[in-house]
Amino acid sequence: MAHRIILVALTAIFLFAPGGQAQSSYVKGAAEGWAKGVVGGGNVAAVFPTTPAQLQQYLSDSVARVIVLKQTIDFTTTGSTVTATGCAPWGTGATCQEAINANNWCNTLAPSAAAPVSVSYNSAGTNGLTVASSKTLVGIGKTGVIKGKGLNIKGANNVIIQNIAITDINPRYVWGGDAITILGSSLVWIDHVTTARIGRMHIVLGYDPSPSVTISNSFIDGRTSYDTTCTGANGNGYHYWGIYFAGTGDKVTMKGNYIYHTQGRSPKVEGNTILHFVNNYVYDNTGHAFEGADSSHSAGTIVEGNVFQNVKSLFATPITGSYFTAPDTTTNAQCSSALGRACVVNAFGSTGGLLPSATTSFFSKFSGYPSVSAVAASQVAASVTASAGNTL
C-alpha cells in the first residue's frame, strides 16, 4: 500500500529529559510509554557518515553521538558470498524461503522437513551493527537507508533510531539476519523506521531484560519474494518472521505502527514480557497476529484502539499469556489502574479468531507506566498508513 509523505516543519525544538539533558533538534517529537525521557546522544554536534566503516564506527564507539543519515549505506558490498549446506523446510520451489543452518538449526528438524539444499548468502547480513549507549541515529527525509545489515542494540542505554529504512538482509534465508535486535538494553526508542525484505525477524527482543522500549510509527513491510508458503512470486509473498518479544523482564510500548502483509508473529509475545499494543494497524495477514509459546502464561498485553483488517486469525492457538483486549466501554474502565485512563475499543474487519477473556491480573506490572494517549480506532487506518515508516 502506498504511503503518503507528510511534510513536517523543520523548526528546531529542544526536548529535555528529567535530568535536563537536551535532545537533538534532528529528532522529531518525543517517546511515549516505557522509553519516555530517552535523549539518545543528546544535543551534541551531528556527524554524517558516508561509508559503511564510518557508520559502524559512529554507532559502536563510546562517544555520545547524533548520527545523521542522508544516503544509502550499502553493506551488501562489504560482505562476502558464503555458500554452504542449509535446508528447505517449506519446499524447494523458486519462491520458497530456505534456511541457513545457524546454530545447527536444520539438524533439529524432522528429516522430512529438513531437505538439504545449497544456500548462498551475504555474510554482512548475519550480524547486525553494534549500537552502543547514548546514540541517536536519524535519517533525513527518505534518504537514510541501511541496506544489507541490521542493528544490534545489546547492553546499551539511551538509544534513538528514527526515520530510517533497513532493507534487503538476505531475504531468501531464515537466519539471514534481523533488522533490529534489542537485548539487555534500556531507554530504546524505535520511531518512524521502515523494515523491508528481511531474512528473519524485523524486530526481536532477546532473553536479557530490556525494561523500557518504545516502538512507534514504524512500518513493518512483510512483502517478500520468498516465504514459508512459497507464494512470493513478484514480491507478493507474506513474511512470517515479523516481531518477536522473547525476553525476560521486557517492557514494550508499541504505538501507531503499520504491520503489513505478514502471516505470523505480528507480534509474538513470550516470557514475562509486558506489552502495551495501542493504535496499531495490522493489515493483510494470512496467518495470525498474536502468537505465544510460553506455557507459564506470565506475559501480559493490553490491546487497545487497534485496527485488525483482513487478518485470518487474531490469535494463534493455543492462546498463551494474558491479554486485556478492550472489549467494551464498561469493561475498559478497568484500564485506569494500569494506564490512568479507560482503554479504547479495538476495530476488526474480515478478521477471524476469538478474543480471550479480558483479564486484568497483570495490571500491577504497569506500575509507574508513563501516560500514553490513544485515539479512537476509527482514526487509526488513515493516520497510520499516512505517517508510519521513514516519512519525516
Q: Are 266 and 241 in contact (CB under 8 A)?
A: no
SS3 247: coil
Cα–Cα distance, 328 to 120 (Å, whole number): 51
Of 125, 137, 181, the closest CA to residue 161 belongs to: 137
Q: Which amino acid is at 224?
A: T
The cell for 231 is 507464494
DSSP state of 15: -
Backbone angles phi, psi at 241, to 5 degrees: -85, 80
DSSP state of 78: T
CA distances from 288 to 81, 239, 322 (A): 34, 12, 17
The CA R_g of the chain, rounded to the nearest whole Å, is 20
SS3 377: helix
Which residues are annotated as catalytic? 265
Q: Are 119 and 85 in contact (CB under 8 A)?
A: yes
Cα–Cα distance, 318 to 15 (Å, whole number): 44
Q: Are 198 and 128 in contact (CB under 8 A)?
A: no
Of 157, 160, 131, the closest CA to residue 24 belongs to: 160
Q: What is the DSSP string of 164-175?
A: -EEEEE-TTEET
